[in-house]
């Protein structure tokens, strides 16, 4: 029996606006280290590469060098602090739930492939009320590889039981786009996330302005016509 088509989503900056809680956590770390807070407008562009890079970029903004050992220590501290404030001010982007429902009704499995650690991802998606929508939720620590390594994406698809030949990635950053391209999977990009340069420069297959556009955009991708069932 053919495996179903699958839509795989990044989390931070794609499904949800998580910047407020990530940045408040960063600024807890900055204060503990005697550094000034990073302004939200500056820190939002620092988010896309993961928690460790966020801390390192915060220290760079504070003009303080960070040794590898100290970076490891602060990364662990960041995860501990963030685990207590995962969903204080985070929220789903508009039309996410409707788009997930439409794709599910068309026969798509849904999955999450994120560089947030798996436990945080599951908890956050649960607090946002959509964890049960996904056949797999795979984080940075789920496999030995993480984005932009394409195996993070392909193993997420495998874990969910989807068809890699009828898969699509939805993300907001160069990391997501590079991962999907390396896996040979089309990618739909959203412009309201944490990319640090224009998405057009990264050449995703499609850019949508709202999740309301996602089902239509997916249906126009090769192999995804008729709800992705054209090979059944």
Q: Hey, which residues does 136 pair with through a beta bridge?
A: 111
Beta strand extents in 45-108 (DSSP E only)? 91-92
Q: 9 forms bridges with which residues in the sheet?
A: 112, 170
The one catalytic residue among 10, 172, 176, 205:
10
Provide the 10 A C-beta neighbour count for residue 73: 13
Task: Identify which of 130, 57, 55, 135 has the alpha carbon closest to the alpha carbon of residue 91.
Answer: 130
For this structure, is 10 an active site residue? yes
Q: Respond yes or no on whether the N-terminal peptide bond of residue 73 is cis (omega within 30° of 0).
A: no
Cα–Cα distance, 124 to 13 (Å, whole number): 13
Residues taking part in catalysis: 10
């Amino acid at each position: 029996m053919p495996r179903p088509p699958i839509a795989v989503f990044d989390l931070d900056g794609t499904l949800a606006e998580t910047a407020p809680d990530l940045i408040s956590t960063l600024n807890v770390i900055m204060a503990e280290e005697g550094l000034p807070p990073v302004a939200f407008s500056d820190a939002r562009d620092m988010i896309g590469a993961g928690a460790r890079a966020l801390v390192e970029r915060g220290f760079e903004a504070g003009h303080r060098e960070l040794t590898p050992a100290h970076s490891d220590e602060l990364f662990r501290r960041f995860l501990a602090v963030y685990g207590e404030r995962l969903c204080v001010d985070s929220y789903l982007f508009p039309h996410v739930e409707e788009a997930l429902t439409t794709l599910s009704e068309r026969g798509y499995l849904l999955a999450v492939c994120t560089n947030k650690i798996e436990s945080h991802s599951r908890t956050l998606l649960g607090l946002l009320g959509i964890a049960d929508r996904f056949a797999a939720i795979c984080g940075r620590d789920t496999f030995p590889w993480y984005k932009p390594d394409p195996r993070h994406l392909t193993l997420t698809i495998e874990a969910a039981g989807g068809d890699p030949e009828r898969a699509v990635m939805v993300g907001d950053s160069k990391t997501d786009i590079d991962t999907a391209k390396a896996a040979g999977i089309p990618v739909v990009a959203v412009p309201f996330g944490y990319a640090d340069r224009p998405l057009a420069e990264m050449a995703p297959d499609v850019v949508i302005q709202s999740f309301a556009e996602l089902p239509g955009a997916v249906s126009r991708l090769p192999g995804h016509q008729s709800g992705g069932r054209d090979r059944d």
